């Protein structure tokens, strides 16, 4: 067991992230481990389609490109690498890494973790008849087993995003499986750094306060033996690590105060943040509970075929023009698609001094199991109206053939039904047992809100004048976390930003199930909005299919703010 803090950096927040980040992190300063998160719900669909075309694929190919550039450097510096880049085929990626190392003349032990792929057993486990991919979210103990046995590189399939950080910390300190507070602290640190530069100023509400955001550095978690940590970045890199940037990332894609992982449930309401120097934030006080008995499963399927076009409506009579083209197009369709959706974006301005700012966009999206209905039929109908519709008829681009779209569905299976296997460099396979102590995941009652603030004189102003926000997707749902910086602002926010108020400010949520959770330690409220994203990101149910801008829309809405808070 070690006593000094372990330095774990992250160099990837998604498949397609900055290709040079691995080298930047290795050259930028001392690290013990370098991790990468390459998998998202949409990524699993992309990799599943890769594997369907070629059974030898299904992993993040950019990981190999990064290693080709840096493997010798990592070995020279003694930095071990852990990444979930294995996707749907971690064994194949491990073999590819070994082949790469041989080609480069570098000696490394490469291990991998598998067992998450349940697609062959989907029907047996009640996960649907024939999904394209079905992957359980595994935990960190397979990674720890590989590292304990001397692996220099560990690649995994679908583990939780934080697990690539928890595994190295658990191996480094020799934690037991019931060291819940320490494990939860590592989950908190992992959740903060898993999305890369989102912890160092990327996608940050108060970005104008950051001196240099041209090339933000990737984050590092210095994790102590008790699970507490300091979040930082390599010296001299751009961006910012502050209590606010860390708060924003903690609020990303969460629900209530309990944040479940396969090894521990993190109590988000226990997390305390404090400044620990320039670009250093201490994360302490974290408590953990036994994990749930079930594992979440990412299910990706082909939903059908989709097509879309956007009509440009310019100048006067926008609503009448929209109604004309809508009625014309629908009457020209001999077979109505299973889904036909119209959205009018009023981007036009009166008396505009450019044609673009005088124009609105009318979007039409169609979906159907039959590619011909959303392909040739729809495209022909839209194009044939070019000289027979509203004045100034034009579109952003003519519609083409219908394209396949995917749907994401979360599933749950008992952890005892899911194999979790560490495969060492010599081929030895070690079964990782599921947690023996579990706890049913139940929502916590919200704490009592703080005393209401006497508003005094108020000013009509955007919520974002005092509040930050971070939003994201979770299957068909989205979350919006909103936080403020001072205790007085918190007293106001907790009583002002209710579910009812959110529905008023974001009319798209008016008829959707919405829950609110209070997180006083972070001076934050988190909203979970169900069904706003339809059947997942690939379904593209709305203008912003991943809900990344939802929080910024909320910040732009006007509310009555006490003048003294401004």
Domain stop point among 406, 424, 447: 406
pLDDT of residue 370: 96
**What percent of the chain stands above pLDDT 70?**
99
Other C-beta atoms lying within 10 Å of the C-beta of residue 277: 10
Indicate the DSSP class of residue 252. T
The single residue listed with the structure tokens 């209530």 is: 256
Q: Is the pLDDT of residue 1 over 70?
A: no
Q: State yes or no: pLDDT of 493 exceeds 90.
A: yes
Examine residue 257 and state whether it is found in any structural domain, yes or no. no
Instruction: Tell me the chain's radius of gyration from C-alpha atoms.
Output: 25
Distance CA 558, CA 422 (A): 53
> Would you place residue 432 in the very low, low, confident or very high pLDDT band (cuts 50, 70, 90)?
very high
Domain boundary among 406, 436, 468: 406
Residue pair 15/64 in contact (Cβ under 8 Å)? The answer is no
Question: Read out DSSP for 325-355?
Answer: HHHHHHHH-SS--SEEEEEEE----TT-SST
Give me the pLDDT at residue 41, please. 85
In the structure, what pLDDT confidence band is assigned to residue 2 with cuts at 50, 70 and 90?
Answer: low
Count CB neighbours of 103 within 10 A.
10
pTM of this prediction? Answer: 0.95
Residue with tokens 């160099």: 11
Mean pLDDT of 529-540: 91
Residues 402 and 462 in one domain: no
Q: For residue 344, what is the domain's CATH number?
A: 3.30.70
Q: Is residue 17 in some structural domain?
A: no
- What tens digit of pLDDT does each residue of 287-341 get? 999 999 999 999 999 999 999 999 999 999 999 999 999 999 999 999 999 999 9
Give strand ranges (E) for 87-228. 110-114, 133-136, 153-156, 219-223
> Are 538 and 470 part of one and the same domain?
yes
Looking at the domain assignment, is residue 508 inside a domain?
Answer: yes
Q: Indicate if 486 and 400 belong to the same structural domain.
A: no
Q: Which domain holds residue 324?
A: 303-406
- Decide if 387 contacts 393 (C-beta within 8 A): yes
Containing 403, the helix (H) or strand (E) segment is strand 403-414
Residue 239 C-alpha from the chain's centroid: 20
Contact status, residue 58 vs residue 51, Cβ threshold 8 Å: yes
When divided into structural domains, the chain yields a total of 2
In a domain, 224, yes or no: no
Residue that the structure tokens 């909203």 belong to: 527
- The pair of structure tokens assigned to 344 is 């009018």
For residue 148, being part of any structural domain is answered with no
High-pLDDT (> 90) share of the chain, %: 94
**DSSP code of 140?**
S
> 393 and 274 in contact (C-beta within 8 Å)?
no
191 in any annotated domain: no
What was the pLDDT predicted at 398? 87
Q: How far apart are CA 482 and CA 163, in angstroms?
A: 26
Mean residue pLDDT across the chain: 96
Cβ-based neighbours of 143, under 8 Å, separated by 6 or more: 82, 113, 154, 156, 159, 163, 164, 166, 167, 168, 171, 422
Helices (H) and strands (E) in the chain, counts: 14, 26
Per DSSP, 56 falls in state T
Higher model confidence: residue 40 or residue 97?
Answer: 97
Average of per-residue pLDDT across 184-204? 98
Condensed to tens digits (0 to 9), the pLDDT of residues 517-527 reads: 999 999 999 99
The answer as to whether 383 is a domain residue is: yes
pLDDT tier for residue 516 given thresholds of 50, 70 and 90: very high
Nearest to 478 by CA among 498, 459, 502, 452: 502
Indicate the pLDDT class of residue 42, thresholds 50, 70 and 90. confident
Closest CA to 529 of 491, 472, 466, 445: 472
pLDDT digits (tens, 9 = 90+) for 445-467: 999 999 998 989 999 999 999 99
DSSP assignment string, 24-46: HHHHHS--SEEEE----HHHHHH
Mean pLDDT on 392-404 = 92
pLDDT at position 130: 87
Closest by CA to 477, choosing from 546, 543, 560, 413, is 546
pLDDT band of residue 129 (cuts 50, 70, 90) is: confident
- List % helix, strand, coil for the chain (3-state, nearest 5): 30, 25, 40
CA dist 286 → 172, 184, 190, 273, 283 (Å): 19, 6, 13, 10, 8
- The separation between CA 377 and the C-alpha centre of its own chain, rounded to angstroms, equals 36
Could you give the angle at the alpha carbon of 459 between the alpha carbons of 493 and 496, nearest 5°?
Answer: 20
Q: Which residues contact 120 (CB under 8 A, 6 or more apart)?
A: none
pLDDT at 543: 87
Q: What is the DSSP code (8-state) at residue 464?
A: G
Q: Is residue 11 part of a domain?
A: no
Among the residue ranges 11-15, 141-145, 444-448, the one predicted with the least confidence is 444-448
Last residue of a domain, one of 366, 389, 406: 406
């Amino acid at each position: 067991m070690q006593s000094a803090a372990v330095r774990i950096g992250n160099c990837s927040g998604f498949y397609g992230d900055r290709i040079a980040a691995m080298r930047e992190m290795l050259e930028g300063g001392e690290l013990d481990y370098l991790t990468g998160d390459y998998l998202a719900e949409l990524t699993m669909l992309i990799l599943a389609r890769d594997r369907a075309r070629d059974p030898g694929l299904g992993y993040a190919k950019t990981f190999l490109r990064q290693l080709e550039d840096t493997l010798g450097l990592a070995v020279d510096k003694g930095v071990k690498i852990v990444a979930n880049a294995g996707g749907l085929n971690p064994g194949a990626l491990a073999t590819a890494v070994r082949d790469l190392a041989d080609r480069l003349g570098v000696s490394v032990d490469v291990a991998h973790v598998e067992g998450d792929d349940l697609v062959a057993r989907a029907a047996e486990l009640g996960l649907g008849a024939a999904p394209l991919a079905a992957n359980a979210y595994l935990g960190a103990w397979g990674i720890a087993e590989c590292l304990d046995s001397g692996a220099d590189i560990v690649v995994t399939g679908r583990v939780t995003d934080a697990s690539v950080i928890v595994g190295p910390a658990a191996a480094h300190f020799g934690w037991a499986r019931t060291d819940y507070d320490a494990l939860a602290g590592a989950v908190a640190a992992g959740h903060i750094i898993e999305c890369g530069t989102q912890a160092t100023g990327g996608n940050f509400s108060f970005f104008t306060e950051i001196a240099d955001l041209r090339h933000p550095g990737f984050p590092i978690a210095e994790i102590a033996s008790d699970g507490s940590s300091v979040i930082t970045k390599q010296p001299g890199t751009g961006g910012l690590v502050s209590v606010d940037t860390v708060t924003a990332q903690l609020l990303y894609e969460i629900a209530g105060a309990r944040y479940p992982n396969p090894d521990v449930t993190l109590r988000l309401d226990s997390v305390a943040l404090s400044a620990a120097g320039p670009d250093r934030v201490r994360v302490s006080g974290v408590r953990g509970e036994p994990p749930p008995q079930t594992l979440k499963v990412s299910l990706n399927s082909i939903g059908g075929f989709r097509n879309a076009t956007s009509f440009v409506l310019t100048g006067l009579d926008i609503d009448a023009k929209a109604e004309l083209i809508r009625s014309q197009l629908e009457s020209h369709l001999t077979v109505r698609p299973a889904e036909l959706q119209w959205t009018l974006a009023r981007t036009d301005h009166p008396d505009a001094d450019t044609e673009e700012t005088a124009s609105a966009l009318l979007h039409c999206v169609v979906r159907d199991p039959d590619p011909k209905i959303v392909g040739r039929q729809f495209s022909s109908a839209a194009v044939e109206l070019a000289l027979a519709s509203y004045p100034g008829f034009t579109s952003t681009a003519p519609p083409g053939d219908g394209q396949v779209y995917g749907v994401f569905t979360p599933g749950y299976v008992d952890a005892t039904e899911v194999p979790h296997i560490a495969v060492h460099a010599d081929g030895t396979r070690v079964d990782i047992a599921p947690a023996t102590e579990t706890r049913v995941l139940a929502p916590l009652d919200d704490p009592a809100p703080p005393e209401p603030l006497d508003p005094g004189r108020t000013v009509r102003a955007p919520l974002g004048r005092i509040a930050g926000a971070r939003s994201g997707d979770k299957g068909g749902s989205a979350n919006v976390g909103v936080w403020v910086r001072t205790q007085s602002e918190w007293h106001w926010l907790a009583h002002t930003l209710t579910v009812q108020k959110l529905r008023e400010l974001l009319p798209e949520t008016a008829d959707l199930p919405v829950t609110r959770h209070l997180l006083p330690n972070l001076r934050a409220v988190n909203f979970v909005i169900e069904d706003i994203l339809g059947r997942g990101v690939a379904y593209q149910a709305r203008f912003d299919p991943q809900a990344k801008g939802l929080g910024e829309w909320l910040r732009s809405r006007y509310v009555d703010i006490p003048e003294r808070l401004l």
